Structure 1
Amino acid sequence: MTRPRPVECWLTDMDGVLVHEESAIPGAAEFLAALTEHGRRFLVLTNNSIFTPRDLRARLLASGIDVPEESIWTSALATAQFLDDQRPRGSAFVVGESGLTTALYEVGYTMTERDPDYVVLGETRTYSFEAITKAIRLIEAGARFIATNPDVSGPSQQGTLPATGSVAALITAATGRQPYYIGKPNPLMMRSALNRIDAHSESTVMVGDRMDTDVISGLEAGLRTILVMTGSTRPHQVDQFPYQPTRVVDSVADIVPLVAELRPLDGPS
């Protein structure tokens, strides 16, 4: 068998790996500082389409974590890139917030309710029945259905919130049309992230906290994967999946020593 290539680039999830809500996870700042110090190319990935990279940079800074805007890759940015590749300068009816609308505007898309090419569903904290009804009617009239990510719920300080996947299921039930999801676990998002930092899948590692999004999308994109135990997937759940990460660690703090070592990552140690 071919020996794995040394790790040169890193992709990492944000929530559950670097932060919990507004609080940094111990070791996150040191991990990112090590990446910068040793010249490792990296991106912070998130399925959250609410915020722009500038917004997310400010949120991370408030937690004591310094990430440049250009090192943040969201499902909104991946969605905009996908639509620009598919139908340049097209039109869309958007159910979402500034992270999504800004990304689409920046690739030249027009936001409209009149015969749009696409209905694009993202995450928002204020889903409108009127907007969902409009989306349903436009899809019935022929608009193509895109969703930024399949997450059915998300956390908040008050408890669980419905997320993009839940609202997409509602629209599907009404229209019979399934959306095309762009964000994790679609490996398309991983491929777009790799291209953004000119990285090769065989020399890149994905760090995540969820087996059903982070690990599987990394695996399907040909990356090695590290699962941290500070987020969604619990230790007793790991063996229940038919696929496994390259390595399981307690937290991102355990990865800091690996950044300096330009060597292969080949399983548990």
Structure 2
Amino acid sequence: MPEGHTLHRLARLHQRRFAGKPVAVTSPQGRFAASLVDGRKLVRAEAHGKHLFHVYGPDAIVHVHLGLYGTFTESPLPVLLPVGQVRMRMVGETHWTDLRGPTACEVLNKDEVRAIRDRLGPDPLRKDADPDRAYERIIRSKQPLAVLLMDQKILAGVGNVYRAEVLFRHNVNPLLTGDKVSRELWDTLWDDLVVLMKDGVKVGQINTVRPEHLPKAMGRAPRVDRHGGEVYVYRRAGQPCLVCGTEVLTTELAARNLFWCPACQP
């Protein structure tokens, strides 16, 4: 599932290409009420966590959640015939985009959008984010921090990659319970997530490795993985830790794969 930086990157792209002008919106698949926004001016595109919002007005906001399989394909004009199951097509003055396979694609009003956002925790990529809200919930929980970081009601936008990597970068045992997380540690984790996720928006992939551990600095081969980017532990089970050489471990935690270094994260 795409993590929060992907949705913010999409929001910025759609803001640049479509906002401020009327947009032709159709649903070739016939499963989306495109007529409610077709031909209307897109006021803005924004993201909160893993949710994307195309705001056409207070009574018409397209809410998209990509889920596991959703994807946008972006193309310059001219428009081509739809290929496959296209849930939503947007056509602007210079570009068009097709959305396929989302978990959610629906037209909501501002109250319905507010209800979604009220259920979400603070998003490290939003200027209005309040990290105190997340910490207040974390410190009251006895669940592992690795579980809490993935709970979108506590923290919006962080997925499996950022979860594993930020814990490694600060030598935190994934099973540390929320009620044992100090304010100092939480502030450090939050600040690092802000930096890492902003970089993800900028470059379009997740990079978490510090300069001294990059392939060129260490004389090692670059990582080869469909997710791209250089990481410390995510999907590196059985390989040596880039810092200490200990074998990276993996296990299932709350139905998701967890990766960590037992030496660096005791």
TM (norm. structure 1) is 0.24
Q: Which structure exhibits the higher relative contact order, with contacts defined as CA atoms closer than 8 Å and separated by 6 or more residues?
A: 1
Structure showing greater radius of gyration is 2
- TM-score of the aligned structures, taking structure 2 as reference length: 0.25
